[in-house]
């Protein structure tokens, strides 16, 4: 590769990075402005006098503590359940032989092609008849299982040699013991990738909580911000402040776990 080609590649990456990061930078900077400065023309890329008190006002003028608490609770519970159910089912599909395994796996993965909007009404009716509507259990029930997690974990488990598991079976270890003592420790990168994907999806979910969580004390950060925007439609700086607070936890978690995420995405495509 010539030096000019490499330089052009680096330049393209820089331009793409700026295009992706610029809206986030504008959001953060706008959270430190006054309302009149947010949409000034030309754009002020840094406020003349940063309004740090916006990050205090948002807590007193909204129920941010409750919204974040509900979001953290649902995100953690759903993530733990999806990691557990996804890895356990993937181990069965990848390493346990039983009649109809491949057909069942294809049928299960085929659900990824069905949009949630096509069956959310019968699902809502079912959960309402089970008296789970307007409770946190409704969100947990519809998101505790995911075909994507099973697919990712199965791809990773297939890269683990069967001889390792056969040796454990000869030594008398049960399938549950193999899953807990061998498969889980070896699949840390894949588990981290699945956990991060699930956490982000649950944290950013809007339509699910909008359908099922009608009580204000159950609202997540996404529903809470929607209500805050409708009440303070002219408080642009505070709206940006709430948006920053809703994004910040996910950004921190992703930065802390990006090494495992990249490694997990790379290894889930390997074949044993």
The CATH number of the domain holding residue 213 is 1.10.3720.10
In a domain, 136, yes or no: yes
Give the contacts of 136 (CB within 8 A, at least 6 positions apart). 70, 73, 74, 213, 218
Give the contacts of 247 (CB within 8 A, at least 6 positions apart). 24, 27
Whether a cis peptide bond, with omega within 30° of 0, leads into 42 is: yes
Q: What sign has the CA pseudo-torsion 98, 105, 169, 161?
A: positive
In a domain, 48, yes or no: no
Domain that holds residue 237: 54-267
Task: Please tell me the total count of domains within the chain.
Answer: 1
In a domain, 212, yes or no: yes
In a domain, 108, yes or no: yes
In a domain, 85, yes or no: yes
In a domain, 228, yes or no: yes
Q: Is the pLDDT of residue 68 over 90?
A: yes
In a domain, 37, yes or no: no
Give the contacts of 140 (CB within 8 A, at least 6 positions apart). 74, 77, 78, 81
204-258 per-position pLDDT tens digit = 999 999 999 989 899 999 999 888 888 777 788 888 898 898 988 888 888 887 7
Q: Is the pLDDT of residue 263 over 80?
A: no
Question: Percent of the chain beyond pLDDT 70?
Answer: 95
In a domain, 13, yes or no: no
Cβ-based neighbour number of residue 54 at 10 Å: 20
């Amino acid at each position: 590769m010539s030096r000019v080609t490499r330089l052009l590649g680096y330049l393209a990456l820089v331009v793409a990075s700026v295009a992706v990061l610029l809206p986030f930078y504008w959001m953060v900077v706008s959270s430190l402005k006054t309302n009149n400065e947010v949409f000034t023309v030309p754009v002020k890329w840094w406020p003349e006098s940063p309004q740090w008190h916006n990050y205090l006002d948002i807590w007193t003028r909204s129920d941010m503590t409750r919204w974040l608490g509900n979001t953290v609770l649902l995100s953690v519970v759903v993530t733990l359940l999806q990691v557990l159910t996804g890895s356990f089912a993937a181990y069965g599909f990848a390493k346990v032989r039983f009649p109809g395994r491949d057909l069942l796996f294809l049928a299960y993965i085929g659900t990824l092609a069905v949009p949630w909007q096509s069956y959310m009404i019968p699902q809502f009716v079912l959960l309402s008849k089970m008296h789970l509507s307007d409770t946190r259990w409704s969100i947990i029930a519809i998101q505790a299982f995911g075909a994507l997690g099973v697919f990712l974990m199965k791809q990773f488990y297939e890269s683990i040699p069967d001889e390792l598991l056969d040796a454990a079976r000869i030594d008398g270890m049960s399938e549950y013991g193999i899953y807990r003592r061998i498969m889980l420790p070896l699949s840390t990168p894949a588990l981290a990738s699945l956990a991060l994907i699930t956490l982000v999806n649950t944290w950013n979910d809007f339509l699910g909580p909008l359908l099922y969580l009608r009580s204000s004390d159950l609202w997540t950060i996404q529903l809470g911000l929607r209500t805050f925007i409708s009440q303070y439609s002219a408080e642009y700086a505070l709206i940006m402040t709430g948006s920053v607070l809703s994004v910040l936890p996910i950004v921190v978690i992703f930065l802390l776990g990006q090494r495992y995420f990249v490694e997990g995405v790379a290894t889930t495509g390997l074949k044993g």
